[in-house]
Amino acid sequence: MKTRQAIIYQRIFGMLGGLILLLVATSMAQECSMGSAFCQGRYGAGCYNPTYAACHDGLVCSTGTSPCVGRYGTGCYNPAYATCQSGLVCAAPLQPCFGQYSARCYDPSRATCAASSPRPRPRH
């Protein structure tokens, strides 16, 4: 017969083994290194470090940036230096220009939007 101490050790090692097996299986399924978190959603899946980034429905954006999601794309941008409208990111001082078939950024000091034409029209 087993002693009481042997039974306690057997239970402890059994729980530790189960915990290690659970951790290994979880990390293999998500393929994230230690310290990284898994991000999954409509916009993809991947690993990220929560200290330096955030997950937004599968889109990982670094700290200080915001998600930009819409008809014309998906990405991250810094609101201090750019704007986002319908998934189009335009760096300042450019402005978004939406046409029937496409969207682009234009410089209002050099051109008008000309949303119906394939290129912004030069100012005269």
Q: Which amino acid is at 43?
A: Y
Report the SS3 class of residue 95. Answer: strand
Residue 6's alpha-carbon distances to 2, 17, 57, in angstroms, are 6, 16, 49
Per-residue pLDDT at 31: 78
Predicted local distance difference test score (pLDDT) of residue 114:
73
Alpha-carbon gap, residue 49 to 30, rounded angstroms: 14
Digitized pLDDT (tens) for each residue of the chain, 124 residues in all: 566 654 554 555 454 444 343 344 444 455 799 889 999 999 999 999 999 999 999 999 999 999 999 999 999 999 999 999 999 999 999 999 998 888 999 999 988 887 545 555 565 5
pLDDT of residue 19: 38
Every domain of the chain and the residues it spans:
1-30, 78-124
CA distances for 88 relative to 54, 112, 114, angstroms: 20, 18, 17
45 to 37, 48, 57, 116: CA distances (angstroms): 11, 10, 9, 36
Q: What is the separation of C-alpha 1 from the centre of its chain, rounded to a whole number of angstroms?
A: 57
